[in-house]
A and B are shown apart, each in its own frame.
Chain A
Amino acid sequence: MNTEVRQQHPHTPQKKQKKYNQRTRDRISGYLYISPFFLLFGVFGMFPLIFTAYLSFHRWNILGEREFIGLSNYIGLFTNDPLFWKAVGNTFSIWALSTIPQLFVALVLAFILNQAFLKGKSFFRLSIFMPNVTSIVAVAIVFSAIFGTQYGIINYALSLVGLDPINWKGSYFGTHVAISSMVMWRWVGYNTIIYLAGLQSISKDLYEAATIDGANKIQQFFYITIPMIRPIIIFTVLLSSIGGMQVFTEPLLFGVGSDSQGLTMTLYLYQEAFERFSFGYAAAIAWVLFLIIMIVSLINLIVTRRIKST
């Protein structure tokens, strides 16, 4: 922009010469400065992407020859691999169990934290956000202890109110709830902060006008707050959907259970590649995983656009 403006000004020839040099130098430095990203992405981003596609048409483990088998990996994956579909089901179940309550709680927390009268705001904000900086590994280990079947604290709490202990590691329900709560615990604070930022950008006049018209807090929440921060809600739904499709560390450390009830898509990909060394098959899983993430993101966009237009 600036160079164009400058060119239009009448300059002495000597100055013009200088500007031209500056432009060339800008161009060279520009390419030079952005090259580290593109070099690194080429090697560790682009090439692996293409090579994964190539691999997915082959049968190959670490020792044997690479053998071209066309679409066999994909056909096998779609028609003859119940374990993969189980992993897909588990991933979606864990995602729904963690994302929906997580975003709802975050929204309520942000709304409360945004109230003007509130004391100790920064303390609450910090303590709710703190789980997000902890490593997933630490979270998974602690939650494994909390959800312990024999001496876990949750089962103890259940016994206090007279309920039977739940076999957290042995049942579908138990494993999904335990893994979901790890995800939820770690991400509620993050989403709260994001929502809070959105809330703070809403003009106070809107609330004042509504108060004068006699709207109570709950009405204000549904008729002003939610519509105003809709773009941010969309952003968080999209992010947690993409994140939810990639859950890996939590089930790995919690244990997938005897019925593979904790097996997620990414964990299945990891096991195929680095435990069973069927790289070709794992590459096919990687691409199907990518496809699923794309479809989920697309559905997200379509649904939110629908909501937006009404």
Chain B
Amino acid sequence: MKEVGQKKLPKIFLYLFLIVSSLVSLFPFYWMFVIGSNSTTSVNQFPPAMIPGTQFFENARNVFERIDFFGSMLNSFIISGTVTLSVLFFCSLAGFAFAKLNFEGKNMLFVFLLATMMIPPQLGLIPSFMIISQLGWIDTLQAVIVPAMVSAFGVFWMRQYISSAIPDELLEAARMDGCSTFRTYWNIVLPTVKPGLATLGIVTFMNTWNDFLWPLVVLKDQSVHTIQIALRTLNDVFYTDYSMILAGTFMATVPILIVFLLFSRYFIAGLTEGAVKN
């Protein structure tokens, strides 16, 4: 009996800690909407507004006047969608080769691939920019898409997944039936590793969507801005109008949150799997 009493008190503290942490995590999302739905004057006061106002659509209209909101959302979708599809295809193909095909130097090449993950992306920033400008790709979406079309992490991820999810016997059987290597990949491997593809797809989509430095460097013109760059311009030029800025930020955040909430199971499961295996 004494034990029950002893445990009760800490339990409340644990819940309290969790609730406070959740509130801290969620509050900025809420406050984004609060400020975004109030007028600028009611924001610039003490105490600051804490309840949503009625000005959201007006602030949104201001955003649409200042930046090409939907255009940059579309750019972000095109970039993230293309990169994701391409990463899924090329990384699973390479992962399949590393996991199941035999060729000389395979292990060495794989170690090399792992080593490339150690290189900080900023290191090659200037020459990469020069290549893109030599190709005449400044201010085009392929400047962001092409360098990201296949990733070392993706190949590593798919290799691990394919090695553990696909028994060799399955591939043997396909070969007996006369499947070519590519057909084996397309008809046997791909359908089997769907969960692995889902995780890699979400991670890639999120990272590409949220990428900032590289698009900032190569996408100068407003017509090719991604939503992140567009938000930055909003923040840069009209520094004081927080209502408008946060209305824009809120509108840009909601779609990605919806995507996340829909697929969160895969996402979180995938993250943890990767971490524990490391």
Contact = CB atoms under 8 A, between A and B. Distances in A.
Interface of A: 2-3, 22-23, 25-27, 29-31, 33-34, 36-38, 40-41, 43-45, 47-49, 51-52, 55, 105, 108-109, 112-113, 115, 117-118, 123-131, 133-139, 141-146, 148, 150-153, 156, 159, 185, 188-190, 193-194, 196-198, 201, 217, 232, 235, 242, 245-246, 248-249, 253, 266, 269-270, 273-274, 279, 282-283, 286-287, 289-290, 293, 297
A133 B131 contact: no
Q: Which of B213, B232, B257 gathers most chain A CB within 10 Å?
A: B213
A55 B124 contact: no
Interface of B: 10-11, 14, 17-18, 21-22, 24-26, 28-29, 31-32, 35, 43-48, 90-91, 93-94, 96-98, 101-104, 106, 109, 113, 116, 118-131, 146-147, 149-152, 155, 168, 172, 175, 180-182, 185, 206, 209-210, 212-213, 217, 227-228, 231-232, 235, 242, 245-246, 249, 252-253, 256-257, 260-261, 264, 267-268, 271-273, 275-276, 278
Contact of A142 (B11, B97, B246, B272): B246
Contact of B127 (A22, A48, A117, A153): A48
A interface secondary structure, majority: helix
A235 to B, nearest CB: 6
A270 B276 CA distance: 35
Nearest to B24: A185
A270 B126 CA distance: 9
Contact of B26 (A55, A130, A194): A130
Contacts, number: 262
B interface secondary structure, majority: helix
Contacts of A279: 126
A283 B104 contact: no
28 contacts: A23-B102, A33-B94, A37-B113, A37-B152, A38-B109, A47-B124, A48-B124, A48-B128, A55-B126, A112-B14, A126-B264, A128-B22, A128-B25, A130-B260, A137-B231, A141-B245, A142-B32, A146-B28, A185-B25, A193-B272, A196-B272, A198-B276, A232-B275, A235-B275, A246-B122, A273-B129, A274-B129, A279-B126
Contacts of A269: 122, 125
Contacts of B275: 194, 197-198, 232, 235
In order of increasing CB-CB distance, the 8 nearest A-B pairs are A48-B124, A197-B272, A48-B127, A30-B103, A33-B97, A51-B127, A30-B101, A29-B181
Given A235-B275, A289-B123, A293-B120, A151 B45 contact: yes
Given A27-B102, A52-B126, A133 B119 contact: no
Given A29-B182, A34-B97, A269-B125, A194 B272 contact: yes
A299 to B, nearest CB: 15
